[in-house]
């Protein structure tokens, strides 16, 4: 189980379905939140710069401060669309860089970056009824998710992050978790979106996921932190 810290205008927030205007501020100082998750026993953190993802600004200094403040591994993403951006976040201390928009639109770029940064990149495969989403979930694409998973299997990626955007942040459960793309993925498989109860975590585990990113449900208390850790051990 990986606690999520989503950054917007310097604060940690949760969005419903990734939509601007639905944000709930959960911490004015995301560094304090990161330290708290580490203190409680988190073995990994998920940090995303939402402003950079949607092109409304950036929170790179906040990301760097989080990376300096914790010792647990961090997967960091949001707006990482060129080699210098990837190099910067890894040099700042991220264990893995999450790439989505450009990786989805330009698979050959993903291939090149995976070779350049072996086992340090995670492909974000964010989906809803619009298809594979890019630009902070604001635009659908005609990208072939099966082809992207096949590419992920062939190049030295660290993992694939499968986000169900339709249920993200709604505290309504994960829905149907059966997904043949997950079954076909030979990289580390990370789920995100909708996890609300321990039963959701168990369902995702049974579906083949190695990790689950959890955000609002942890602070809402519908998923007890310590029992979530046990469920995904």
pLDDT tens digits along 165-191 = 988 878 889 988 888 999 999 999 999
Q: 190 near 210, Cβ under 8 Å?
A: yes
Q: What is the β-pairing status of strands 24-27 and 11-14?
A: antiparallel
Number of structural domains in the chain: 1
Residue carrying the six token digits 């949001």: 78
Which residues span the domain enclosing 190?
Answer: 2-231
Element (H, E) at 119: none
The reported pLDDT for the residue numbered 179 is: 87
CATH of the domain at 23: 3.20.20.70
The reported pLDDT for the residue numbered 172 is: 87
Q: What is the pLDDT of residues 194-218, one digit of tens each?
A: 999 999 999 999 999 999 999 999 9
- Which positions are catalytic? 6, 126
- Give the residue among 42, 76, 54, 69 at the shortest CA–CA distance from 8: 54
The neighbour count for residue 153, using CB atoms within 10 Å, is 13
The reported pLDDT for the residue numbered 176 is: 84
The reported pLDDT for the residue numbered 1 is: 93
The reported pLDDT for the residue numbered 193 is: 93
How many whole angstroms separate alpha carbon 80 and alpha carbon 65?
18
Q: 149 near 185, Cβ under 8 Å?
A: yes
Backbone torsion region of residue 137, taken as left when φ is above 0, otherwise alpha when ψ lies between -120 and 50, otherwise beta:
left
Q: Indicate the pTM of the whole model.
A: 0.96
pLDDT < 70: residue spans in the chain? none
């Amino acid at each position: 189980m990986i606690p999520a810290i989503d950054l917007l205008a310097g604060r940690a927030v949760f969005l419903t379905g990734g939509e601007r205007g639905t944000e709930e501020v959960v911490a004015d100082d995301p560094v304090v939140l990161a330290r708290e998750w580490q203190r409680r026993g988190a073995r990994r953190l998920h940090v995303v710069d939402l402003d950079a993802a949607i092109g409304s600004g950036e929170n790179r200094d906040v990301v760097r401060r989080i990376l300096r403040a914790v010792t647990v591994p961090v997967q960091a993403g949001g707006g990482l669309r060129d080699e210098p951006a990837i190099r910067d976040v890894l040099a700042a201390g991220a264990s893995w860089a999450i790439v989505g928009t450009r990786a989805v639109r330009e698979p050959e770029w993903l291939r090149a970056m995976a070779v350049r940064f072996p086992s340090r990149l995670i492909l974000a495969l964010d989906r809803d009824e619009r298809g594979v989403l890019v630009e902070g979930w604001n635009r659908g694409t005609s990208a072939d998710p099966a082809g992207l998973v096949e590419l992920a299997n062939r190049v030295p990626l660290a993992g694939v992050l499968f986000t169900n955007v339709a249920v993200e942040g709604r505290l309504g459960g994960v829905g149907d978790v059966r997904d043949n793309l997950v079954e076909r993925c030979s990289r580390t498989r990370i789920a995100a979106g909708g996890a609300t109860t321990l039963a959701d975590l168990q369902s995702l585990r049974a579906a083949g996921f190695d990790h689950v990113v959890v955000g609002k449900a942890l602070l809402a208390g519908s998923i007890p932190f310590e029992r979530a850790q046990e469920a995904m051990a």
